[in-house]
Structure 1
Amino acid sequence: MDKKNLTIGVVLLLAALASMYFSAKNASQHTPPPPAVQPPAAPVATGDGNVTPAPAAMPAYADTAARPTTPEITALVTDKAEGTVDHLVNSFVELRLTNHGGGISEVALRKFAETLDVDGKPAEQRVTLNRPRINPVLAFVGLPGLDEQTAFEVVSRSAKEIVYRAVYENRLEVTRRYFLPDGSEPGTDPYQLRHETTFRNLTDQTLPLPRFALSLGTAAPISSTVYGQQVTSGYSDGKDQHFIEHTKLQGGGFLSFIGMGSREPLPSITTPANITWASVSNQFFTTILTPDTPGTTLITRRVPLPAFADAPNRPASGLSTETVFDVQPLPPHGEVRLGMDLYVGPKEYRRLANGDIFKADQDKVMNFGFFRFFSQILLTLMTWVHGWMYSLSPAWAWGWAIVITTLILKIVFLPLTLAASRSAKRMQKIQPEMQALREKFKDNPQKMQQATMELFKRHRVNPMGGCIPILVTIPFFFGFFVMLRSAAELRFESFLWASDLASPDTVARIFGLPLNIMPLLMGATMIIQMRLTPMPSADNAQAKIFKLMPWIFTLFCYNFSCALALYSAVNGIFTIGQQLVINRMKDPVEPAPAAAPETKSGRPVKNVTPRKKR
C-alpha cells in the first residue's frame, strides 16, 4: 500500500463518516402546499335544446409535490379525527379501518412487540404501522370530496371482509372493499390483504375520472439512533427496483458542509414511472402496494415527527409515500374496478421470496443493494441453521445461527486463508534479502524489480497471496452487514448478555456513555490478530495506520447492531486460533536452490570445490 492510496482511503473514510453525521443532523420540516383549485365547468346542452349548467367537474388531483413551496410543518392526524373505527383481525395483524375516507388508519402487528420491558423481555404493546401519520393507508390524496375528510358508510361486514361506500354529488358511487385472509388458504399470506376500489357512474353522461393518488401511509424510524438510510420509499418498474432514502430529502450532508450542496431540505420527490409495486419502509417493517394496473407516479414526502424521549433536542422525521393512478372515463352507468394487494408486515426475506404469493419480486424491498446476492445466500443459510438450532436452544437460536454461519464461512474459505498465511510467512522470511536488493539496485529500478521477482519465484512467494482472501471475503462481510441491519427476524432476539441482536448490546452507562461489550471484544480480537499475523516491513507512517485500524474500526462499529459485532468477534476468535496453528506449522515448501552463476559465454561455472575428507 503506497502513501498516496493510503491517504485517499483515509480521506474517503472520513468523508463518509462526515456525510452520515451531517445528514442525520440536518433535519427539518415541511407541509405540502394546498391543492390547486379546479375551474368551473362549462354549460352543457341537453336533448330538448335547453342549456343547463353542467355538474361541477370532480376536482382533479393536484400534483403539489412537483411544485413545492416554502416548507412548513405537516399536521399529523390524531386519534380524535378518526371517526368510526372498524377492525379486521387474524393471528398476525389487526387492521384498524376508519370511515373517514374508507382507509386503514393503522395496522398492529400482533407477533412483534413495540419495546422491551425493564427485564429485557418483549413488552405487551405491539408494533403499530402508520402511527403517527398524515393520511390513512389507501386513503385518496388530493381528491376533495372522497378523501379522508369524507365519511363513508359501511354497507357490509364480516370476520374477514368489510365494504365502505360513498356517493359524490349523486354522480359517482365509490365502494371500497377490504378482505383479510388468515393465511391458511393456498396462495395467501396473513400479512397481505386484498383491496378493491370500484367507481360507478350514476349519470347518463360519460364521466371523466380525475387523476388521483392512494397513500401508503407513513414510515417512522424505530429509534433515535437509526440513520436516515434505513427509512426509504421504493418502487419496481417491472424490471428494476429503485429506492429513495430519507437522507435525500433532508438536505445538508457532507457536500453542503464543504459548500458543494444545498442545506435546504426537499418537501417531496416526484418520480414518474411504471409502478408495478410501491413501498414505504423503516428498518424492519414495510408496506408494499401491488396494484393490478400499474401506477404512473410515486411521490415521497418528508414528514416531521415528535422527537424521541432519549433525544428530545434532535428533530425526528419519517417518510410518507403516495402512488398516482390514471383511470379511463366512465361510460354512462358504467364502472371501473381498481384492485390491489397490500402487504403490511415485517421485512422477512424468506416470506417475501415466496414466489407463489409474491410474484413481482417484492423480496427486493429488503434493499440489499450491490451485495444482494451475498446477502440472500447468507440469510438463507442463517435461516436454515436457525431452524436446526431452535429445537436445541429456542431462546438463543438466532445468536447460535450467526455463530454457526460465521464458522461455516470460515471453514469454506480455510484453504484460501492457509495459502495466504503461508505466503505471508515466506514474505516475512525474505525481508532481509529484499532489503539487500533495494540497497544493491537502488539506482536501477528495472534490475531491482527483476531480481525481486526471481526472489519471489525461488521462495514460492505470491505477492498477491495475502490480498486474495480479503478480496473474496469482503463481499460476504458487507453482505452480512447489509443483511443483519434489516433482518426483522433478529429484532428482540437475545443471546448471552444481549437482549436484542438488532441493537447495540449496552450493559451499562458510564458518565452517560454506553458500555457495549461485543464491539470491544471484536476490537480486542482484531488487535490480537494483527500481532499474530506476519506482516512485511512497512514505513513508520503505514505501521502507525495499521496499528490504529482496529481502534478506528471498533469506534466506527461501536453503536452498530450486536449481531454484526457478534459476527466480527466470532470471525476474529476463529482467525486467532487458526493463526496460532499456522505459526507453529513448518513450511513444507523449501526454497529452490539459487541458480549457478554464469560466465560471459552464458555457460554455468563448474563447481571445482574439493570434497571434504571424511
Structure 2
Amino acid sequence: MDRTAWIVVALCVVGLVVWEIYLVKQTPPRPAPVGVAPGQSSPTTTPAILVPSPTPVAEATPSSGESAPSFAEKIETLRNSDVELRLTNRGGGIKEAVLLKQVAEKGQSVILNSDKSAPIGALIEQPSSPTLAEFTASPESDSAVRFESTTPEQVVIRKKFFFEKSPENKDNYVIEMDVDLENRGDKPYQSGGYFVALGSAAPIHPKDYPSYTRLVWCIDGRAKGIDVGWFGSSSGFLGVGQRVARPYYQENIA
C-alpha cells in the first residue's frame, strides 16, 4: 500500500481505540439506596428512572446506612400469556416484570426492573434518598390488584394495577396503573410534589455495551428514552462534552 493508505489505516485504528475508551467511561455511578421505612434504607441498587409531578421537591442528601425492612414483604402476581408481574407491598408497585416469551442468558426469561431498586409505580418524595411505605394488597381478580396505604397526615393512597383489555396480542405488554389520593385529615394537605419510579435498567447479556441498556417510556403517545451511559461522568471527545456523574434522571410531565 502507498503512504496515503497507511495513514488511513492508522487513523482508523486510533479512532477505534478512542471509541473503546469512550465507551468504557460511560459506566453509570452507584445510585442512592432505596429505603423501606422513614429513616431507613436498603442495600445499594441499580440506577432508577424517576418522573416527577408538576412541582418536584428539592434534592436531599442520600443516606448511606443499611438496615433490614421494618415489615415483611408480600408479593402478589398478575399474569397473562406474555408477562408476569410481581407486585410488592413495599411502596405498592411492580417489583419485577417477567417477559415469559423473551429469553436472556442461560435460557432464563428477561426480567425488567431490579428486585433491589424502587418498584415501578412507587411514589417517592426524595429521589436521592427514597423511602417505601407499607401498602396493603387486595387482589381484585386474576387481572387486577389494588394497594392502599395511609400517610401520617391521614392521606389515603390507593393504587390499582391491571392489564389493558384489548383483542390485540401486542397489548398484553400494556399494564395500567390508577392512583387515587384522599385526604381524611381535618386540615388541607400541602405537598412539595412527588416522583413516580419507572424502574431500573440492567444489561441482558454480560458483554452488552452500556449504550444497549436503556429505558423507554411514552408520554402522550410519544416514545422517549435514555441509556445508562447518561448517568456516568464523561471526559468528552478531545475535551468537548465533558460532564460529571448524574445520580438520577427526571422528566417533567406537566
Normalising by structure 2, what TM-score? 0.70
Q: Does the CA contact (< 8 Å) of 1:93 and 1:109 recur in 2?
A: yes
Cα distance in 2 between the residues matched to 1:187 and 1:110: 14
Deviation (angstroms), 1:252: 4.0
One-letter amino acid matched to 2:142: A
Aligned to 1:96: 86
Deviation (angstroms), 1:138: 0.8
Aligned to 2:159: 176
Q: How do 1:406-417 residues align onto structure 2 when only pairs under 5 Å count?
A: none
Deviation (angstroms), 1:127: 1.9
One-letter amino acid matched to 1:176: K
What is the RMSD computed on CA atoms of the aligned residues?
4.3
Q: What do the CA deviations read for 1:173-216 (whole angstroms, capped 9, x no partner)?
A: 110101125x6546971111111010012135432343111111
Is 1:23 the counterpart of 2:23? The answer is yes
Cα distance in 2 between the residues matched to 1:205 and 1:253: 51
1:115 counterpart (97, 105, 109): 105
Cα distance in 1 between the residues matched to 2:200 and 2:166: 29
1:129 counterpart (86, 93, 112): 112
Q: How do 1:63-212 residues align onto structure 2 when only pairs under 5 Å count?
A: 63-64=58-59, 83-116=73-106, 123=107, 125-142=108-125, 149-169=132-152, 171-181=154-164, 185=167, 189-212=171-194
Cα distance in 2 between the residues matched to 1:68 and 1:20: 34
Aligned partner of residue 99 in structure 2, secondary structure:
strand
Q: How do 1:227-238 residues align onto structure 2 when only pairs under 5 Å count?
A: 227-234=209-216
Q: How do 1:472-511 residues align onto structure 2 when only pairs under 5 Å count?
A: none
Would the alpha carbon gap of residues 247 and 154 (structure 1) be closer, same or farther in structure 2, given more than 3 Å must change? closer
Deviation (angstroms), 1:250: 2.4
Cα distance in 2 between the residues matched to 1:171 and 1:141: 17
Deviation (angstroms), 1:5: 11
2:246 counterpart (251, 261, 267): 267
Q: Does the CA contact (< 8 Å) of 2:78 and 2:143 recur in 1?
A: yes
Q: Does the CA contact (< 8 Å) of 2:75 and 2:88 recur in 1?
A: yes
Tell me which protein shows more helix as a share of its residues. Answer: 1
Aligned partner of residue 204 in structure 2, secondary structure:
coil
Aligned partner of residue 134 in structure 2, secondary structure:
coil
Structure 2: state its 5+ residue gaps: 36-54
Tell me which protein shows more strand as a share of its residues. Answer: 2
Cα distance in 2 between the residues matched to 1:83 and 1:152: 10
Would the alpha carbon gap of residues 171 and 18 (structure 1) be closer, same or farther in structure 2, given more than 3 Å must change? same
Cα distance in 1 between the residues matched to 2:29 and 2:71: 22
Q: Does the CA contact (< 8 Å) of 2:29 and 2:247 recur in 1?
A: no
Count of equivalent residues: 232
Deviation (angstroms), 1:19: 2.3
Cα distance in 2 between the residues matched to 1:73 and 1:170: 27
Structure 1: state its 5+ residue gaps: 36-59, 117-122, 274-294, 297-614
Would the alpha carbon gap of residues 236 and 136 (structure 1) be closer, same or farther in structure 2, given more than 3 Å must change? closer
Aligned partner of residue 247 in structure 1, secondary structure:
helix
Would the alpha carbon gap of residues 187 and 205 (structure 1) be closer, same or farther in structure 2, given more than 3 Å must change? farther
Q: How do 1:225-374 residues align onto structure 2 when only pairs under 5 Å count?
A: 225-234=207-216, 243-252=225-234, 255=237, 262=242, 266-268=245-247, 270=249, 273=252, 295-296=253-254
Deviation (angstroms), 1:220: 0.4
Q: Does the CA contact (< 8 Å) of 1:95 and 1:106 recur in 2?
A: yes
Aligned to 2:51: none
Q: Which runs of 4+ in 1 moved over 6 A?
A: 3-6, 72-75, 77-82
Greater RCO (Cα-Cα under 8 Å, separation 6 or more): 2
Aligned to 1:120: none
Deviation (angstroms), 1:244: 3.1
